Amino acid sequence: MSDIVAAKQALRSSMRAELRALQSAVLAEWSEALLQQLMGIARDWPAGQVVSVFGGLRAEPDLLVDFVPELTRLGHRAVLFAVDGEDLVAYEVSGVEDAVRGMMGVWEPVRLPLRQVGLQEINIALTPGLAFGLEDGSRLGRGRGFYDRFFAKASAELLRIGVGWDLQVCAQVPKESHDALMHIVVTQTGIRRVGL
């Protein structure tokens, strides 16, 4: 095992433990503050953006429930990912009525062919992670590579925004050549342009 892989595993383990320890009341408070941060930047996006969202894990912000209605109000389209083998497939959603709970409670879109959106059509990716590095925009995912494969297939102009909590932010996270970098990291206390 390489030093980078070992460092990633150690950081994943410590971040998972910290996230598991968070109390529901703290998560609710942070979620409200994070929503306000996201609304602040979403108001500046040109109308009609296609924005990928996520939600459902206990210690993650639930963007489907909390943010999608606001995105729609601002004239943007939201997409949620479904897993198809080793890849992510995007489907347009308007809210929870267009989604079901999948593995581990993660929101998954109802897979209606007419609502499928090509990965190249997505303009902005609100991206979950276990850790985000402010020096270079590095991101540590959960280890399956779904988002890195999505980024490799997406438009070169895709705006990659890491979304999480302050405790998930550090100077750098271990990265390999295939790991995509974030342009912005948004937490409950601020919006940070990073690295690139």
The full set of domains in the chain, from first to last, is 3-193 (3.40.50.10420)
Cβ–Cβ contacts within 10 Å for residue 100, how many? Answer: 11
- The pLDDT of residue 195 is above 70: no
Per-residue pLDDT averaged across 20-36, rounded?
A: 95
Predicted local confidence at residue 196, as pLDDT: 57
Mean of the pLDDT values across residues 52-64? 91
Residue 105: per-residue pLDDT: 84
pLDDT band (50, 70, 90) for residue 66: confident
Q: Where are the alpha helices (DSSP H) in 43-185?
A: 63-66, 68-73, 146-153
Reported as a single tens digit per residue, the pLDDT across 172-192 is 899 888 889 999 999 999 999
Residue 138's SS3 state is: coil
Task: Write down the residue that tokens 């389209």 correspond to.
Answer: 77
1 has pLDDT over 80: no
**Site of tokens 């609502």:** 115
Average model confidence (pLDDT) across the chain: 93
pLDDT at residue 104 in the model: 77
Q: Confidence band (pLDDT; 50, 70, 90) for 34?
A: very high
User: Does residue 172 or residue 51 have the better pLDDT?
Assistant: 51
**Rounded Cα distance, 14 and 84, in Å:** 29
Average pLDDT over residues 47-75: 93
Task: Give the distance, in angstroms, between the CA of residue 132 and the centroid of all CA atoms in the same chain.
Answer: 11
Two tokens, residue 44: 């500046």
Region 140-159: mean pLDDT is 92
User: Is residue 44 over pLDDT 90?
Assistant: yes
For 85-127, what is each residue's pLDDT tens digit?
999 999 999 999 999 998 778 899 999 999 999 999 999 999 9
Do 164 and 187 meet the contact criterion of CB atoms below 8 Å apart? yes
Q: For 190-196, which contacts have Cβ atoms below 8 Å and span 24 or more sequence positions?
A: 190/37, 191/37, 191/40, 191/41, 192/134, 194/132, 194/133, 194/134, 194/135, 194/136, 194/137, 195/133, 195/134, 195/135, 195/136, 195/137, 195/138, 196/136, 196/137
Q: What is the mean pLDDT of residues 65-69?
A: 91
